[in-house]
Amino acid sequence: MRAPFGERLTTAVARSGPLCAGIDPHASLLEQWGLPVDASGLERFAMTCAEAFAGEVAVVKPQSAFFEAHGSAGVAVLERLIAAFLDTGTLVLADVKRGDIGSTMAAYAQAYLGEGSPLAADAVTVSPYLGFGSLDPALDLAQRTGRGLFVLALTSNKEGPQVQRARSTEGVSVAQTIVAEAAARNDGARPLGSVGLVVGATVGRTELDLSRLNGPILAPGFGAQGAGVGDLRNVFGDHLRHVLPASSRDILRHGPDVTALRDAALRVRDLVRLPGIQLGW
């Protein structure tokens, strides 16, 4: 039985520093790397990332859509990529953003969190916008298998505020309700709960109260999408503890050379280790 995800994540960040390196094989990146835009190019891209990042960064985040775009051959590459990180100390967060109801959600959970599934990662991203309770099959299976979830709370896309910042008749935002639901699942967990949130590093000042979350916060958008060290301070304020910045293009543009790719990831990681910004892992 593996240790809970929150515990394993804390160990990984303590060892390798607070960084989630995205693995996003856009067609334009494959071309930039001199690779064909097909399953063979996808595999070379993915395995180069595995060679560069395994054992060096705390977390990697493959975006499943870019693998699925190549059909069954692309999904097979994603399976091999996940397997390449086993026992390396680097955790895999599958960016799948699944969210459905009933038996369909249970099937998604089995695919990405179930024992024996070739797509099973250490954690996945999920969408709560069919109601937080719709995530129960994934929450329950993740708890049984020692895996984790990152729940979309406050994202950086321009359409997000229409739903996420909407308020109930009591004046509570939808995003704050999601924070409260996640916090309830993390209550009493040590050293850290396994239900995290996704809060974009570019969303600016928020009114979110994260003090009771007791879980990790994935902060995508660090680097090429515009967020810097100052934005982490601005967005998270007193809640920088347990923030995990995520960066993709700012790192991946340095490929296909393995050493250059690894060095780029470590440079980004070291940015959030500067005095006054060091995160509290």
Q: What is d(CA 267, CA 276) in angstroms, rounded to the nearest whole number?
A: 17
- Of the listed 97, 241, 253, 254, which one is catalytic? 97
Tell me the C-alpha to C-alpha distance, in Å, between residue 1 and each of 55, 94, 97, 144, 155.
22, 21, 26, 9, 33
Cα 121 to Cα 10, 59, 112, 265, distances in angstroms: 17, 11, 6, 21
Structure-token pair, residue 125 = 């991203």
Radius of gyration of the chain (CA): 18
* Contact (CB, 8 A) for 213 and 186: yes
State yes or no: is 97 an active-site residue: yes
Q: Which helix (H) or strand (E) holds 54?
A: none
Question: Are 267 and 274 in contact, with CB atoms under 8 Å apart?
Answer: no
Other CB atoms within 10 A of residue 272 CB: 22
Active-site annotation, residues:
97
